[in-house]
Amino acid sequence: MQSNVHQLLDDFKVFINPDNIHKITSFDSDRLGLDGRTLDPICRDPNDERRVTGELLQWHFCQAILANMRGAGETVFEFDFPPGTDMICEIRSGPEAAKRMGAELFSRLDGISLS
């Protein structure tokens, strides 16, 4: 898979609907002409261990829908704080401070083991 297409999938800007003939849908400007195409049958061959499973595509489909629909109604947080900024003060004085602090802590502490 081309890296630019992979990035669109990672960002949930493109998804493949396994319940609709593996149709590709784009939530972004479709500069690559992917919208409306279908996933090549070789990628979903049940006899190929490298195939893309329907379960994985279904999970990705749901995440893409949530990511793109939720974006219209929830606050988008700024992640780039200029050098010297008091990040805690900025977060506390901004919108949805508790939710933002939770997201900030989760993103920074994810994967850290306390054992």
Domain ranges of the chain: 3-70, 75-115
The pLDDT tens digits for 49-103 are 888 888 888 888 888 888 877 555 555 565 667 778 787 888 888 777 888 787 7
Which has the minimum average pLDDT: 5-14, 32-41, 95-104? 95-104
Model confidence, pTM = 0.55
Give pLDDT, residue 115.
Answer: 55
Decide: 17 and 36 in contact? Cβ < 8 Å.
Answer: no
Instruction: Give the pairing of strands 14-17 and 23-26.
Output: antiparallel
